[in-house]
Amino acid sequence: MVKIYGHYALIEGDRIKTTFYRHLIHSFDITALDGKDKDTAYNFTRKLYNSFVLIARERVRSAAGQLPHLNSSHLRLMLARRTNRS
C-alpha cells in the first residue's frame, strides 16, 4: 500500500500558535490492477519536484538575498548579547 500525503502548517494570530496538518492526497496498491499504478508515486514526486520545489528554492534564495549582510564582528556582537541574557 502506498499513501501520498500533503503536509502543511497553519500559523494563527499574533501569538505564535502553529498547528501542523497532514492530508491524504492519494492511496493505492501497486500490486493491484496488474501493476498499473506502480509508477504513480514516482511520477507524482518527480512532477512535484519539477514544479513546486524549484519555485520554492528560488523564493528562499530571493528572501535570503534580501537579508542584511552581517560581517563577523556583527555576528560576534549578536552572540555576546545573546550569551549575556542567559
Residues 6+ apart with CB under 8 A from 51: none
0.85 cut: is pTM over it? Answer: no
CA–CA separation, 70 and 16 (whole Å) = 27
Coil, helix or strand for 32?
helix
Q: How far apart are CA 31 and CA 29, in angstroms?
A: 5
Q: 10 has which bridge partners?
A: 19
Ordered per-residue pLDDT tens for the chain, 86 residues: 778 888 888 877 766 788 889 989 888 776 767 767 667 777 877 887 888 888 888 888 888 888 777 677 777 777 787 777 65
Q: Check residue 78 and give its pLDDT.
A: 73
Q: How high is the pLDDT of residue 70?
A: 67
Interior CA angle at 56 toward 7 and 23, to 5°?
15
For residue 85, the model assigns a pLDDT of 63
Nearest to 40 by CA among 4, 82, 85, 79: 4
Specify the pLDDT at position 86. 53
Residue 83 C-alpha from the chain's centroid: 30
